[in-house]
Amino acid sequence: NAGVIQTPRHKVTGKGQEATLWCEPISGHSAVFWYRQTIVQGLEFLTYFRNQAPIDDSGMPKERFSAQMPNQSHSTLKIQSTQPQDSAVYLCASSLVDQDTQYFGPGTRLLVL
Amino acid sequence: GEKVEQHESTLSVREGDSAVINCTYTDTASSYFPWYKQEAGKSLHFVIDIRSNVDRKQSQRLTVLLDKKAKRFSLHITATQPEDSAIYFCAASMNYNQGKLIFGQGTKLSIKP
């Protein structure tokens, strides 16, 4: 079992550029969650899919951030016009249907210069 | 919305002693309470959880206690070992089956030889 896979592990972008982060959930897991971790804000929920359908995006910044899950094997988080305050570790987690336990990937460390 | 507070930002115990990390939550609708461990430079690793239908759960050296009346839950680690050193995060979720996690700010546990 490879666990949750996130790519890239590190990304550096210039202010105003676009960043796309990828997540491959554990095989058979039907729910995918995105979180963001910073020193100041801690761990924050962003958005969540179940069976590829968006369920809760209450944590997503309304502008510039979007997420998709086009198939059961991957999800993407896209940040348009990146800003320095978007610098964070973006974590993806997955879980089985009707199971609470979320398993986290290694994260993508995004640095916006 | 739900808020989770972790009372100890740092905790230092001697190897072999017990450690206790305390969390409180605000929303009585919260029903699922997991704990995660984060070692330096790594992602979140699930360690133990408890659901609101019980008030105690034990797994080897780890015990979680839940006091719904006080809206408080705690992680007890007995016979601490150097490899227990990490940041521990508590979290709460309002859904039994899947749902976003609201995290505490983390407790850095150091085990002294």
Both tokens of residue A55? 């369920």
User: What residues of A are in contact with residue B101 (Cβ under 8 Å)?
Assistant: 33, 35, 43, 45, 102
* Partner-chain residue, chosen from B32, B105, B106, that has the shortest CB–CB distance to A100: B32
User: What residues of A are in contact with residue B51 (Cβ under 8 Å)?
Assistant: 100
> What CA–CA distance (Å, rounded) separates B64 from B108?
18
pLDDT, residue A1, reads 65
> What CA–CA distance (Å, rounded) separates A51 from A45?
18
Q: Tell me the residues of chain B between 73 and 112 that have a Cβ less than 8 Å away from chain A.
A: 89, 91, 93, 95-106
User: What residues of B are in contact with residue A104 (Cβ under 8 Å)?
Assistant: 36, 43-46
Reply yes or no on whether the pLDDT at A97 is more than 90.
no
pLDDT, residue A62, reads 86
Question: Number of residue pairs across A and B with CB atoms under 8 Å?
Answer: 62
pLDDT, residue B94, reads 84
pLDDT tens-digit readout, A1-59:
689 999 999 999 999 999 999 999 999 999 999 999 999 999 999 999 999 999 999 99
Question: Which single residue is written with the structure tokens 């995060």?
Answer: B89
Q: Which residue of A has its CA nearest to B34?
A: A101
**Are the C-beta atoms of residues B18 and B75 closer than 8 Å to each other?**
no
- pLDDT below 70 — which residues of chain B? 95-98
Q: Which residue of A has its CA nearest to B89?
A: A43
- Residue B109's identity, in one-letter code, is L
